[in-house]
Chain A
Amino acid sequence: MTELSKSQKKLNKRITFKPSYFSFPYMALCIIFVVFPLVLVLVYAFISDTTGGFTFENFAEVFTSSNLMLLLRTIGIALLTTVICLLIAYPTALILASKPFNKFVILSLLFIIPMWMNFVLRVIALKELFSIMKINNGLFASVIGMVYDFLPFMLLPIYTVLSEMDKSYGEAAADLGANGFMKFIKVTLPLSAKGIASGVTMVFMPVFSAYAITDMLGNNDTTLIGKTINELFINGSTWGVGSAFSFILLLLVFGTMILSNLVGRDKTKAKGGAK
């Protein structure tokens, strides 16, 4: 009897299939295409392009004054794009999530549909439009192009947070004496911080490393880090410097993410409720 149950147990153990096994293919993929390349970047960053030996020179080369200017310019353009996106997206989301409009899914769809199109196509279309309007390539055109491309990424998370926000919070604020403006400042805005944070992350990070848009719509004054890195690798002989550059970019993006996570920490979760 015991013998039987033991063998039964053994059999059971052999055929048990944990749900976590499903993640193995993805983990393999992740190791090959994410972790390994990152390690490769890290290794190349410390290998000299000329001698092939271990060196810190690559980092020194990155931190030249011209490259630092480039970094500042990239941060500046990314910030500018993000701020413009936020200024357009927040009021739009507020209107879309408000009572008379929230029934019309089609309205919010209008802002999402452009995302279904390849962005290179969209930028080429924009370029044609600009040439008709006699707007030259440059900072202005690049920023407009990036705002146009990334606006949905800002709009969507903010819209989601606003439309899911319990409207009794607004009512409670009004009940306690807040007029429309104070209600917005003291309740709506802080409660939508999470949406703003993820919107900012989703716009700032891709703009920071983007180069295709500035390539097509920009000029020499709008060269971003992304383009420089691209050139460093295409040249063929400067993989080390390129890797070091990429590595620093990675750290910067990582820092931004931590920052936005801190801001957007979800305080509205876990409503408590009856015990």
Chain B
Amino acid sequence: MKEQKTFDKIIEVKNITKKFDDTTVIDDLNLSIKRGQFVTLLGPSGCGKTTLLRMIAGFTEPTSGQIFIEGQDVTAMPPYKRPVNTVFQKYALFPHLNVFKNVAFGLKLKKIPSGEKKAKGGKEQDVMRKFTKAEIEEKVNRALKLVGLEDYGYRDINSLSGGQQQRVAIARALVCEPKVLLLDEPLGALDLKMRKEMQIELKKMHRELGITFIFVTHDQEEALTMSDIIVVLNDGVIQQIGTPKQIYDEPANAFVADFIGESNVLSGIMERDFSVSFLGAHFECEDKGFSKNEKVDIVIRPEDINLFPEGAGKGQLTGKVLGSVFKGTYYEMEIDAGGYEFTVQSTVEAKPGATVEMLIEPNGIHIMKKLRTVNSFIGTVSGENYVDFCDGSFEINTEVNGTLLEKGTKVKVFVPFDGVELTDDEDDGEIGGNVTHSLYKGTYYQVQVYSDTDEDFYVDTTDEWDLNDRVGIKLDKSKIRLEVIEENEDD
């Protein structure tokens, strides 16, 4: 039974952290992958998905944590000993070898038990042998046939098109009969039509071979089409693991909702179970279990908004059409309702300038807990009305519950999202940082700033900031709240 269990999980990643210099790329990540699944690691560039794949392949060693393949700890094992093979982003086909020799590369190095046994040091061991020439030829030809390149064996790598090189790279990896095939954004360099074809073919190969595929991509559509399981990553942290349908229909948080497909993300208040209000209107929904009047994120997919002409009396919101674009099978419209610009997809067009009523059914409203509602940091009281945190000393009222905190007391510092101000000029702020994420929440932007002190600040602001903008962070001291950390709570 136990055996069965360990074999069910072909790859297990336990508490993996990866740092490059001082930047944390993967942060205490846990993941297990079942045998035979098509798993996609999905996330924006720089989210750590490729780093995670490279650690499974063995090209980079994790800073801490362990990786298991079939229950065996491979954390320190060099790549050439691991039972996995990789299809590289830019294929990395050997330019000095022809197609056949590229595919045969792995086989020529491989050793297999010859069936004979020999006694060595009291133990019986398998005698190892290399593949014969005939065996190699047969296997290579079979692999080339699998990818539809039977007659290309003696072609030069450079004479092949991008799509063909891609196929050779897949054949080269598959011919080694890996237990897991790792694919690092393999379709990124192909044009749209070619990419669609390869998606279908890869899916077919996966079905036929029955081995585990781990596929890295930043293309959410690709992930939704091909995967059994999608792992959504951002900032080195898993945001959600689920089937494509789960990820699309029930995004775990605003990031996933925003990243997967087009969506309208708003802030609202959960009035009670099955009832939510936003933009001044009340809506029925299918979610419950939130505290009364809890602030929540609301995701509405563009195709879940039904439009009716003005005066129909059916919609909950009234909006004005700002623009409309024909997208082949539907119209995509921008509709302004109560200050929020909705994206709406419909087969029926509402002309720009028209006023429409919008109806959102309960199953079209997805409610998510707010990721964070306050910035919290660990700090130390450094004197009367002074607290040290984020590599700086700040003047903050250190009176908590009527008593003045002693010097050296460890405290949690809570800075609300609206207690942070961003300044154009880095020098105007108290801490410097870069804008890493910006999410429009209907009436304001929620901006995420990564400070030079390695902390994430969330800021609610009406200004729009561009990604990677250098900004200064200014804290509104009157809004900061302190909480003493009990010593025994320390973990």
Contact = CB atoms under 8 A, between A and B. Distances in A.
Given A166-B92, A171-B59, A275-B191, A177 B109 contact: yes
A186 B189 contact: no
Residue in B95, B165, B194 whose Cβ sees the most chain A Cβ within 10 Å: B95
Interface in A254-273: 267-273
Contacts of B84: 175
B113 to A, nearest CB: 16
Nearest to B84: A175
A179 B78 CA distance: 8
A177 B158 contact: no
Residue in A173, A175, A187, A269 whose Cβ sees the most chain B Cβ within 10 Å: A175
A54 B110 CA distance: 67
Contacts of A186: 105
Interface in B142-167: 156-163, 165
A166 B59 CA distance: 14
Interface of B: 57-59, 78-80, 84-86, 88-90, 92-96, 105-106, 109-110, 156-163, 165, 172-173, 176, 189-191, 194
Given A172-B94, A190-B96, A275 B109 contact: no
B158 A270 contact: yes
A54 to B, nearest CB: 50
Given A191-B96, A274-B162, A274-B189, A172 B88 contact: yes
Given A177-B106, A267-B95, A272 B80 contact: no
Contacts of B162: 272-275
A251 interface: no
9 contacts: A171-B59, A172-B93, A173-B105, A175-B80, A176-B106, A177-B80, A177-B106, A191-B94, A275-B191
Contacts of B86: 171-172, 175
Given A174-B58, A178-B105, A268-B95, 20 more contacts: A166-B92, A169-B94, A172-B86, A173-B94, A175-B59, A175-B79, A175-B84, A176-B85, A177-B109, A177-B176, A178-B109, A267-B96, A267-B158, A271-B90, A271-B95, A272-B157, A273-B162, A273-B189, A274-B189, A274-B190
A272 B163 CA distance: 10
Nearest to B109: A177
Nearest to A177: B109
* Interface size range of chain A in the complex: 20 to 34
A235 interface: no
Contacts of B194: 274
Contacts of B92: 166, 168-169, 171-172
A179 B80 contact: yes
A191 to B, nearest CB: 6
Contacts of B156: 267
A182 interface: yes
Given A270-B158, A272-B158, A174 B80 contact: yes
A176 B176 contact: yes
B90 to A, nearest CB: 6
A185 to B, nearest CB: 11
Nearest to A187: B94
Contacts of A182: 109
Nearest to A169: B92
Interface string A156-192: 0000000000101101111111110010001100110
A136 to B, nearest CB: 46
B110 to A, nearest CB: 6
Nearest first, the 8 closest Cβ-Cβ pairs linking A and B are A176-B106, A274-B162, A168-B92, A172-B92, A177-B109, A174-B79, A274-B189, A268-B95
B94 to A, nearest CB: 6
Contacts of B78: 174, 179
